[in-house]
Chains A and B, each alone.
Chain A
């Protein structure tokens, strides 16, 4: 009886896993061994280890790291202060609300804000600082990406702060710790899980932001995501695109292993 009910639930779910999780990965790996002329070859892998692609990989990870770092620095205090508010659930909702606006629309807004005759430039001109080229730079790319990811960082941190038992903070204060020491020794370590999942929610998508690089960074910044999109949809070199994807998958698996063991440790 019991075994039967297990099987019933497993069948559709495992089918879903096989078709949409396992098969796509297998296919990506399979395609990475094909050249643009449909020949079985290791050429793509050789090409990946040339400076062009390696540099792209490094810079892609560097940008993702920067975006994650800035989002974290900005989001942690926000989440912390939010938990202190009276109607915190409502305020949290207001933080999440902008994520419901399509991220392309938000990126598009920055075309106007950062543009040569845009608001920021008008303001700097007013201050006598002159106009600057803001759009199509690394700065605008990182700024817009951080802007887009902030809610995804705030949410898990907010949740782990909410789960924190307040008596731990009272205890720490009773034992004579200052509020800074309490934060450093009690609050932050206990909310590390939220920070971790926040970083995960930002870092990996940040590797694949090809639309922001296209719209805001004007092809100046080329991430692995941009390269994959380019190979799949523009040059139609699926093999090379798949090879880059394989490396991204490996990077991802490594990251999952690291955060996975962390969870078990706690």
Chain B
């Protein structure tokens, strides 16, 4: 029994090692004064200095964050509306049709989304740049939000709504005081998924971004295609630190929320 325990931990250790090794590898060499990822010559912070002095890069980081936040907020709103639309359609067939259309963008390969949006934006005359990237990110985030919110809505017992209506709640009150609070975990999950997808997306953005506009992943791609540059390492270290901070914050918030829920539940 004890040996088995050890073996399974060894396996997990191996998995975590594989998952994190490349990231720490990048971070390690970001302090290399040698300028390559072969030999560690000496400690330096020059690459970080270079990142912070590169105004263009900082603007790109800002663009990326703005696109991610804006697109996930808007797609969360549309996604919640979409989930409500699907739930309120009582006919099973229409519901399934809507869901199928919803899932098309989730299962589509990125290149197809990118290529087809490129055609779409060119035809309807959207200038490639900020707007086209934002629209594309909203478009591919909406179905993710719908998928995250829908189970919560279906979980909701109809008697809850009936009770609210019986007690005289208007349609808007039912929505804002009963439905939305109930599905809040789904909404948050959807929002964070949308945020993650937007920050991480490269392929779609690569297609619909014009010459003047760039997001971080597009910029990294063009830098990496030119070869190794420790500026990328420094940048990725910063991104990693930032991500870890967000995740820690998110973890504590969700932990506190679940404790609160538990407290309420036991209090009753």
Residues of A within 8 A of B (CB): 1-2, 5-6, 9-10, 12-14, 16-17, 19-25, 27-28, 31, 74, 77-78, 81-82, 84-85, 90-91, 93-95, 97-113, 115, 117-119, 147, 150-151, 200, 204-205, 207-208, 210-211, 214-215, 224-225, 228-229, 232-233, 238, 241-242, 245, 248-249, 252, 255-256, 260
Contacts and interface: CB of A to CB of B under 8 A. Distances in A.
B251 A104 contact: no
Interface string B193-204: 000100110110
Nearest to A229: B111
A119 B22 CA distance: 11
B100 to A, nearest CB: 8
Contacts of B26: 105, 108-109, 112
B156 interface: no
A126 B29 CA distance: 21
Interface residues of B, number: 73
Contacts of A12: 78, 81-82
Contacts of B81: 9, 12-13
Contact of B243 (A21, A78, A101, A111): A101
B108 A9 contact: no
A204 B15 contact: no
Nearest to B19: A98
Interface string B243-268: 11011000100000000000000000
B25 interface: yes
Interface string B12-53: 100110111111011001000000011000000000000000
Given A105-B232, A112-B25, A242-B119, A94 B16 contact: yes
A113 B22 contact: yes
Nearest to A228: B111
A214 B82 CA distance: 37
B11 A81 contact: yes
B109 A204 contact: yes
Interface of B: 8, 11-12, 15-16, 18-23, 25-26, 29, 37-38, 78, 81-82, 84-86, 88-89, 98, 100-105, 107-120, 123, 139, 142, 171, 196, 199-200, 202-203, 206-207, 216-217, 220-221, 224-225, 227-228, 232, 236, 239-240, 243-244, 246-247, 251
A233 B128 CA distance: 13
A17 B120 contact: no
Contact of B196 (A95, A100, A245, A249): A100
A77 B101 CA distance: 34
Contacts of A20: 105, 117, 120, 139, 142
A63 to B, nearest CB: 13
A118 B203 contact: no
Nearest to B97: A17
